[in-house]
Structure 1
Amino acid sequence: MSSTSERAAPGSGHLDRVADYYEDNTRRFLLVAESPGSDAIHRGVWTPDVANVAQAVDTVNRLTIERLRGHVPQGSARVLDLGCGVGGTMVRLAREVDGIISGVTISRVQAEIAAKRFAREGLTDRCHVLCADFAELPAEPHYDAMVAVEAVVHSPSLANLLPSLADRLRPGGRLILCDDWMTDKDRGLAARERCLDQFRAGWRIGSLHTVAELVAMSERAGLRLAEDMDLTSYLHLGRPRDRVVKVAVGATAMVPRLHNRLVEIPFWANMIGGSASQVGLSQRWLEYHFIVLEKA
């Protein structure tokens, strides 16, 4: 089976499927979040300094803020959250970064929830969300930093997305990506390829690359690698609910026609993709990396 970088890009309907996935699943994500009330729908990362669930869910936000200090101008900073979800990371950034925090999400439901969150927090003058495709951003303004947490994998073409983002970064600006990245481990093994195919189909993944491929594409776009942190070992895999999902998904996989129909339903797509991600991460066919790129 060919590598991901050689696969044909998803068709034009891919972004509609991504939007439908989040339109249908977002409210449920918030109900079953690792830290309810945090408005964070990304994964918790249990680094050695983390003492509880709330801190684990905040790890990526904390790492991001640390990498922005001293790299964005205080008082006039412009930061963009790509695939901003319901604005949880934006609110954290607004509390620590003195400037304008913008976000873009392809989901109308997420944009509406985020706007309400900003109003509750008294941040409507500093936090703004746009419901749009982050590959088609307006030419202005330019940003001091961009952040994408578990988002760029949905892009149908990371090779096309990176130059577009680099064009909208100011010189010295940082692009911070925290996401799942494919590895070369066991490439060609049938079990690995089935797992990654289920991950792509379930979680509506459009761009699944190795970190090395990302770095090469970034360099062509005028971005250099400043930091690469592998966080995989700090994820909590195999939690009780993960084991329940694995059993349920495994039962549907025994009937391929049923499995193929269920993956088109956003609820089941999340279950199928999530179960595949657990397997992929545990086998190190996938890794969860926090990556900092910088524009020359």
Structure 2
Amino acid sequence: MVAPSRAGAEHVTHVADYYDSNTRRFLLVAESPTSDAIHRGVWLPGTPDVAAAADAVNRLVIERLRGHVPPGGRVLDLGCGVGGTMTRLAQEMPVAVSGVTISQVQADIATKRFAKAGLSERCQVLCADFGQLPAEPRYDAMVAIESMVHSPSLATLIPSLAERLKPGGRLLMIDDWMTDEDLGLAARERCLERFRAGWRIGGLHTVPGLTGIAEGAGLRLVESMDLTPYLHLGRPRDRLIKVAVGATGLLRIRDRLVERPFWANMIGGSALQTALAHRWLEYRLILLEKPERH
């Protein structure tokens, strides 16, 4: 285990404060408040309602792990939030699911959720930095939903995760990935910088860049699925937030407000909407696999 640098430790503290301050509000304003999901809704073809859209990411994960994780196997949710995906995995598959979140608020909510669902024996959550995992145990699969962007260094994190995967194990990530379009465009760089500052982003990577890191760590790319077309961008509340964030720019107070978790979420979220609409970022499912030993 490598000790984090001072800058890395400060970043972890900022991310923890961001989620401790915002998580309960995220649950209140979620696209489907009854879904226990604080990730984005994905409107895949045939999705009937907001509850199904909120659960779409969980279904995508389950489809890609079912049959690859043996009964009694171990799954680790990196950046598990309030345990919604962990709960769904445990309900759908006979596996043990561990989760790591940097937020004590999220860990407490998740623990109560598992107890209420009768899953405490198979679902456990740890409040910690997923960049500082112990060497054991090893896992049949790892899942990371909208959490990899908080890592300050995928070049360090991915090899660490690969070591903790069993042969044949899968690493499934659903997150925002940078595209190569409009490199050097000033508007793009300003937008991405607001996203980084607002949402406490550790680093943004392209899929080819990630693939190179993964291959160096002994993982192969199995699937890269673009989910961006299935997001509902520009909803009424998103337009309202854009107006509010725009006003902070006119008043020249945005740089001060971005230090406050509530406004940080508003500023980062508005920038994310713009980046996705322009395809400066793409919301993608990335599936990596560790080869079996021969």
Aligned twin of 2:16: 19
Note if contact 2:34-2:51 (Cα within 8 Å) is conserved in structure 1.
no
Cα distance in 2 between the residues matched to 1:228 and 1:85: 23
User: Which residue, 172, 181, 184 being the options, matches 1:185?
Assistant: 181
Instruction: Report whether the alignment pairs 1:265 with 2:260.
Output: yes
Shift, 1:32, TM fit? 0.4
Identity within the alignment, %: 71
Shift, 1:70, TM fit? 1.3
Cα distance in 2 between the residues matched to 1:259 and 1:11: 24
Instruction: Report whether the alignment pairs 1:252 with 2:248.
Output: yes
Note if contact 1:10-1:156 (Cα within 8 Å) is conserved in structure 2.
no
Aligned twin of 2:66: 69
Cα distance in 2 between the residues matched to 1:222 and 1:254: 49
Cα distance in 2 between the residues matched to 1:285 and 1:135: 27
Aligned twin of 2:221: 225
Cα distance in 1 between the residues matched to 2:28 and 2:153: 31
Number of residue equivalences: 286
Cα distance in 1 between the residues matched to 2:93 and 2:15: 30
Note if contact 1:181-1:286 (Cα within 8 Å) is conserved in structure 2.
yes
Give the residue type in structure 2 aligned to 1:35. Answer: S
Note if contact 1:237-1:278 (Cα within 8 Å) is conserved in structure 2.
yes
Cα distance in 2 between the residues matched to 1:49 and 1:293: 27
Aligned twin of 1:160: 156
Aligned twin of 1:119: 115
User: Which residue, 166, 170, 176 being the options, matches 1:174?
Assistant: 170
Aligned twin of 1:282: 277
Shift, 1:11, TM fit? 4.6
Structure 2 regions of 5+ residues with no counterpart?
A: 1-5
Task: Tell me the secondary structure at the aligned position of residue 228 of structure 1.
Answer: strand
Shift, 1:12, TM fit? 3.4
Shift, 1:255, TM fit? 3.2
Give runs of ≥4 in structure 1 deviating > 6 Å: none
Aligned twin of 2:87: 91
User: Which residue, 207, 210, 215 being the options, matches 1:214?
Assistant: 210
Task: Tell me the secondary structure at the aligned position of residue 13 of structure 1.
Answer: helix
Task: Tell me the secondary structure at the aligned position of residue 125 of structure 2.
Answer: strand
How large is the Cα RMSD of the aligned pairs?
A: 1.0
Shift, 1:254, TM fit? 1.8
- From the superposition, tell whether residues 124 and 212 of structure 1 become closer, same or farther in structure 2 (CA, over 3 Å): same
- From the superposition, tell whether residues 11 and 130 of structure 1 become closer, same or farther in structure 2 (CA, over 3 Å): closer
Cα distance in 2 between the residues matched to 1:10 and 1:139: 23
